[in-house]
């Protein structure tokens, strides 16, 4: 029987954050759940009572993040699992992107996650244990037309999470990057888009046509996977969620290797001689 754990979850009011928080609570774990609007967690509080500590947190407010971690640590005495799940999509062709909207997307998806990690690390180092789950996406490995800003945030999350894993392994802290594929979470409908340029409508429609509802996974099925990875003695650095994602990753990496090999002579020549 897995030991009871204390979770700290951002973005706990909806989507994966909500599902995974409820799965942890349902098996008897305790959760410090944060959301931009604490009222969205009222039913969770009503169901699980003292096993939930709900706090209003906007992850772009760095001081609020640090305070929420401190409150959770004082309340529960420890933190075992950290899920940095707060995030959203900002979509548009690169030429269409509003620079301030791109900055805002990075503030939440990248710098918000960084604040969460930096806030919890002193606690986890002192404990000599802990598991950080950063939520990336299929877009953390593969970009696509009209998704450049959002996928850039997820590429960044992948990069600093991979670095983090090497930095904290010696402290007994584990890191797993969660890479969900397409799921019926309503993410696409909630994504923000700015004014469009007609010249990109053809490519935009082609991208939309490539996202088929039949390929979407059941979000509720991901909860068991998250509990599985949290309970593992040696969890993976990366965990893909969904059946359609790994084949796409495989195809993409095969193409990348093929391209690198085709241009290898040029690459080697660029090394020069000394």
DSSP assignment string, 143-197: --TT-HHHHHHHHHHHHHHHHHHHHHGGGTEEEEEEEE-SBSSSHHHH-EE----
Please tell me which residue in 21, 90, 113, 150 is annotated as part of the active site: 150
Structure tokens given for 274: 């000394």
Please name the residue that has the structure tokens 């490539």: 210
Active site residue 200: no
- Distance, in Å, from the CA atom of 51 to the CA atom of 44, rounded to the nearest integer, reads 10
Catalytic residue among 136, 137, 161, 182: 136
Residue 154 falls in the annotated catalytic set:
yes
Annotated catalytic residue, options 84, 154, 161, 182: 154
Residue 91's nearest CA partner among 211, 11, 10 is 211
Own/partner pairs for 70-73, CB < 8 Å, 24+ apart?
70/119, 71/32, 72/6, 72/8, 72/32, 73/123
DSSP code, position 211: -
Crossing angle of helices 148-168 and 113-127, rounded to 10°:
10
Q: How far is CA 30 from CA 1, 23, 224, in A?
A: 16, 10, 17
Q: Is 4 a catalytic residue?
A: no
Query: How far is 85 from 102, CA to CA, in rounded Å?
Result: 19
Instruction: Report the DSSP pairing between strands 238-241 and 173-180.
Output: parallel
Q: Which residues belong to the active site?
A: 136, 150, 154
């Amino acid at each position: 029987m897995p030991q009871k754990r204390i979770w700290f979850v951002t973005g706990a009011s909806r989507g994966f954050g909500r599902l995974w928080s409820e799965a942890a609570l349902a098996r008897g774990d305790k959760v410090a759940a944060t959301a931009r609007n604490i009222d969205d967690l009222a039913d969770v509080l009503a169901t699980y009572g003292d096993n939930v500590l709900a706090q209003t947190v906007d992850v772009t407010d760095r001081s609020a993040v640090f305070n929420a971690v401190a409150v959770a640590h004082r309340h529960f005495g420890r933190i075992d699992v950290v899920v940095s799940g707060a995030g959203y999509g900002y979509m548009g062709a690169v030429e269409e992107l509003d620079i301030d909207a791109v900055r805002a997307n990075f503030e939440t998806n990248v710098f918000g996650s960084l604040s969460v990690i930096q806030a919890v690390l002193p606690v986890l180092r002192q404990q000599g244990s802990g598991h950080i789950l950063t939520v990336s996406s299929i877009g953390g490995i593969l970009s696509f037309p009209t998704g450049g800003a959002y996928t850039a945030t997820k590429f960044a999350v992948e990069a600093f999470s991979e670095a983090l894993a090497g930095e904290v392994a010696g402290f007994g802290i584990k890191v797993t990057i969660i890479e969900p594929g397409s799921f019926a979470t309503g993410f696409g409908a909630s994504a923000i888009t700015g004014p469009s340029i007609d010249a990109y409508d053809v490519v935009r429609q082609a991208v939309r046509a490539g996202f088929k509802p039949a390929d979407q996974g059941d979000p509720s099925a991901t909860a068991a996977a998250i509990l599985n990875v949290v309970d593992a003695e040696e969890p993976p650095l990366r965990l893909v969620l969904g059946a359609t994602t790994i084949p796409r990753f495989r195809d993409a990496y095969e193409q990348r290797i093929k391209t690198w090999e085709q241009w290898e002579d040029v690459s080697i020549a660029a090394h020069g001689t000394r």
